[in-house]
């Protein structure tokens, strides 16, 4: 589907970029954000992007599609350039796309897929687009509280917190020993801690923009990590969980749904209060990350090592 913008939408003067928009939280967010302006849909699958673009346009909204594989830095750089060439009035960016694997895999460069997709890709996309965002624009990173080794629900689920050694080690898929019995969990937690640390540094470095993070809650119906699940688990996830979660939410705080998460993400994305450097929980309230990720020395180290790694491997 060719990218074309209708000029009849009441919020046509603003455009919001959303990564990972074709399923789960990202899809629900794209549909909600389309009520506020043009949505730039950034994802890997052209067919799914086009289908969502058509759905948004049939509902009276505007959308354009940009194909991008966040695990591939060259693809991310190309996507950023394509977004700039659209010449839209950019108002915000949601770094939503992410993967979680119980069995870690590598990308074409031999980098851990979770680290590349959840940290390096969003990092590169954000740095490439920041100069093109106007003062007051919002950038939001969807992160995860499993980075915190003291997070009881995460520990109960098998996580042992982030295991960061360095950017180089993370790219190789190496983590501090003593972690989860499922190596993919260490990769996921560490990648999410790294991008949360970067969020907080971005916010300090660039006060003209409003840069925040959100823990969307445990959304068992999103399909995150479903590729590693058995057929039986996937059936339960698809047909049983969506009905059970809303009933359990009043009793289990961390439980959420794509609809609820999207509502909070959209609020933050369109917020004009100027809040920046805030880590929000699933209900849209400020929360704290792990002791380590709150340490500015650690945040700065992650930022410096990420930039050094990317500069070394930019060719």
- Under 8 Å between Cβ of 21 and 34: no
- Under 8 Å between Cβ of 66 and 84: no
Q: Is the full-model pTM beyond 0.95? A: no
User: Cα(307)–Cα(33) distance, rounded to whole angstroms?
Assistant: 31
Task: Tell whether 214 is covered by a domain.
Answer: yes
Task: Tell whether 194 is covered by a domain.
Answer: yes
Structural domain total, the chain: 1
Highest mean pLDDT of the ranges 97-101, 224-228, 231-235: 97-101
Q: pLDDT for 86-113, tens place per residue?
A: 999 999 999 999 999 989 999 999 999 9
- Domain span at residue 109? 15-312
- Under 8 Å between Cβ of 17 and 42: yes
Task: Tell whether 60 is covered by a domain.
Answer: yes
Task: Tell whether 6 is covered by a domain.
Answer: no
Task: Tell whether 5 is covered by a domain.
Answer: no
User: Cα(60)–Cα(69) distance, rounded to whole angstroms?
Assistant: 28
124-127, Cβ contacts within 8 angstroms, sequence gap of 24 or more: 124/73, 124/76, 124/77, 124/80, 124/310, 125/19, 125/42, 125/68, 125/70, 125/76, 125/79, 125/80, 125/93, 125/95, 126/93, 126/95, 126/202
Task: Tell whether 154 is covered by a domain.
Answer: yes
CATH of the domain at 220: 3.40.50.720
Task: Tell whether 9 is covered by a domain.
Answer: no
Q: pLDDT for 254-283, tens place per residue?
A: 455 889 999 999 999 999 999 999 999 999
Task: Tell whether 75 is covered by a domain.
Answer: yes
More confident residue, 222 or 38: 38
Query: Residue 245 has what pLDDT?
Result: 39
């Amino acid at each position: 589907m060719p990218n074309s913008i209708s000029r009849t939408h009441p919020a046509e003067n603003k455009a919001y970029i959303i990564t990972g928009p074709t399923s789960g939280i990202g899809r629900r967010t794209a549909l909600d954000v389309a009520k506020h302006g043009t949505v730039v849909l950034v994802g890997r699958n052209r067919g799914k992007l086009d289908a969502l673009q058509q759905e948004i346009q049939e509902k009276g909204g505007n959308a354009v599609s940009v194909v991008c594989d966040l695990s591939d830095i060259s693809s991310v750089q190309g996507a950023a350039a394509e977004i700039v060439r659209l010449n839209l009035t950019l108002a915000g960016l949601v770094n939503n796309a992410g993967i979680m694997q119980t069995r870690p895999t590598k990308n074409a460069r031999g980098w851990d897929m979770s680290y590349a997709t959840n940290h390096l890709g969003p990092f590169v996309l954000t740095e490439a687009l920041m100069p093109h965002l106007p003062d007051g624009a919002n950038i939001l990173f969807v992160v995860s509280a499993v980075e915190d080794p003291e997070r009881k629900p995460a520990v109960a689920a098998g996580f042992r917190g982030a295991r960061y050694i360095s950017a180089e080690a993370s790219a190789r898929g190496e983590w501090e020993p003593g972690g989860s019995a499922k190596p993919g969990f260490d990769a996921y937690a560490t990648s999410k801690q790294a991008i949360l640390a970067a969020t907080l540094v971005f916010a300090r470095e660039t006060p003209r923009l409003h840069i925040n993070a959100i823990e969307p809650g445990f959304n068992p119906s999103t399909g995150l990590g479903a590729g590693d699940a058995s057929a039986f688990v996937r059936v339960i996830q698809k047909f049983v969980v969506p009905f059970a979660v809303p009933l359990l939410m009043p009793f289990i705080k961390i439980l959420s749904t794509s609809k609820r998460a999207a509502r909070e993400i959209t609020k933050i994305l369109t917020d004009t209060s100027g809040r920046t450097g805030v880590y929000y929980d699933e209900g849209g309230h400020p929360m704290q990350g792990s002791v380590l990720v709150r340490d500015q020395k650690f945040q700065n180290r992650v930022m410096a090592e990420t930039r050094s790694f990317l500069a070394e491997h930019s060719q």
